[in-house]
Amino acid sequence: MTGTSHSATPQGVIRALFRDAVEMTRAATGDTRPRTVVRTALLQDGYALLVTTRVRETARQLHVPLVNRALRLAQTALYGIEIGKDVQLGRGVYFVHTVGNVVGGNAVIGDRVRFMGNVTVGTARDDGYPVIEDDVVLGAGARVLGPIRVGAGAVVGANSVVLHDVPRGAVVVGSPARVVGTASARLSSADP
């Protein structure tokens, strides 16, 4: 997993946004040709959401008052999503459907994680937040709660409730979630 920190300079923010566009396009289509990247950046709500999130991060780094809060409210009003100020989003996180997603506390989200909609990543008992590694798919309505780790390339099925660690490349379903298979084909295609 890579960190999300970037330089609070205009060049640093532009570089971070470019990497987000490329990695989000990789997550969405697997095609990173320039034309596809530009199309994704211009047409996907998920990319606009990443732009506002990166601006929020930069405003906090520069201690610019009120910008973080104003953009957080705008994200909620425009996209129906709640992303806490201490959340770390990796490169190219892809919110396929933005409405109903909540990512709270100090959750760590890896690169190219796909949120299908109405997903909650948070705490179960105020005892910590999840770490979701790279290339994970979170199905619609999934709940990932507590100080757990979801391994790279895992797939969390729709409406699953994940309360324990998920191994790398596993497919989990149910409430509480249990391993039912592997996503090895997906995982091997995601490795560089």
| CATH code, 133 | 2.160.10.10
- Local confidence band at 10 (pLDDT 50, 70, 90 cut-offs): confident
**122 domain-assigned:** yes
At 27, the amino acid letter reads A
Contact 98, 118 (CB under 8 A): no
**43 domain-assigned:** yes
**48 domain-assigned:** yes
**129 domain-assigned:** yes
DSSP secondary structure code for residue 107 in this structure: -
**2 domain-assigned:** no
**4 domain-assigned:** no
At 36, the amino acid letter reads T
Q: What is the pLDDT of residue 192?
A: 44
pTM of the full structure: 0.89
**45 domain-assigned:** yes
Instruction: Look up the domain containing 25 and give its range.
Output: 10-190
**5 domain-assigned:** no
Measure the CA–CA gap between 67 and 83, rounded to whole angstroms.
14
Domain count, the chain: 1
Rounded mean pLDDT, 74-93? 95
